[in-house]
Amino acid sequence: MKSITKQKDFEAVKEILEPFDRIFIFGCGTCTTMTHTGGVEEVAEMCGKLQELGKLVTGSTVVPTACDEVTEEIMKQHGQAIENATAILVMSCALGVQKIASYIEKPVIPAVDTLFIGVEDTPGTFKEACDQCGQCIIGETAGICPITACHKGLVNGPCGGTSNGKCEVDKERDCAFTLIYNRLKIQGRLDLMKKYHEPKNYHVEPRPKVIKVS
């Protein structure tokens, strides 16, 4: 499982950093390293671009896993460089950005957009697998989640836009219900295609979602 990100346009980063002249940059050694959006190379490249803009980069580091507790310790090690900065630019997914933002009061600014939580489908290709809806039905849909695999998140079968097993939104993308049908057929469970699913509860755990594990 990885948090899949894409880099923001540099123009957007430039605009939001406009009021700030001294920047500390965080990268992440886990998800954004793998997607080449915030690893060692990308952080170095960002340093260069900001310096070209005339900004002072007070320091940079690529933490092992930005959303982990260890990040706080690493921030302490870089205490002076962070103190010298007027803003923190973070090249991790939003989980890391928020983790870092929770430790300091300085403006913390994301340099990437977080797209989805994905699993590796084929080498280098990640697909969204779970929307964390709190009502898992994949036991009845042959292990394929229609909430994420169907563009409309339908649960009761395909819409009229499916064609040759593909989705109306993009002919390169599979129709979830063709995949589900094919696999249920192999499993000898096609009767499940006809099972009616009630309207979903969109508030199994209402937002803001917080769970305390004892």
Partner 1 sequence: MAKSSFKEALESGKFVITSEIGPPKGTNIEPMLHHIDLLKDIVDGINVTDHQSSVMRFPSIGGCLAIKERGGEPILQMTCRDRNRMALQADLLYAYTRGIRNVLCLTGDAVPVGDHPTAKGVFDLDSSQLLQTIRLLESGKDMGGNDLNGSPEFCAGAIVTPEANPIEPQLAKFEKKIEAGAEFIQTQAIYDLENFAKFMEYARQFNVKIMAGIVLLVSARMAKFMNNNVPGIFVPDHLIDELAAAPKGEALNTGIRIAGRMVKQLKEQNLCDGVHIMAIGKEEVVPDILAAAGIQK
Nearest CB to partner 1, comparing residues 101 and 154? 154
Judged by CB under 8 A, the residue of 95, 109, 133, 159 near partner 1 is 159
If one asks whether residue 157 binds partner 1 (CB under 8 A), the answer comes out as: yes
If one asks whether residue 156 binds partner 1 (CB under 8 A), the answer comes out as: yes
Closest residue by Cα to residue 23 from 65, 78, 70: 78
CA distance to 2, 8, 95, 148, per residue, from 35 (Å):
9, 13, 15, 21
- Which token pair is 53? 């803009």
Tell me the closest approach of the beta carbon of residue 197 to partner 1, in angstroms: 8
Q: Using the rule CB under 8 A, give the single segment among 81-89, 110-118, 121-129, 168-176 that binds partner 1.
A: 168-176
Judged by CB under 8 A, the residue of 160, 188, 206, 208 near partner 1 is 160
156's CB contacts (< 8 A; 6+ apart) are 196, 197
If one asks whether residue 169 binds partner 1 (CB under 8 A), the answer comes out as: yes
Closest residue by Cα to residue 93 from 63, 137, 129: 63
Nearest CB to partner 1, comparing residues 96 and 158? 158
If one asks whether residue 151 binds partner 1 (CB under 8 A), the answer comes out as: yes
99's CB contacts (< 8 A; 6+ apart) are 66, 67, 68, 71
If one asks whether residue 202 binds partner 1 (CB under 8 A), the answer comes out as: yes
* Distance (Å, whole) CA 67 – CA 169: 33
**Which stretches of the chain bind partner 1, using CB under 8 A?**
151-165, 167-169, 175, 177-178, 180-181, 190, 193-194, 196, 198-200, 202
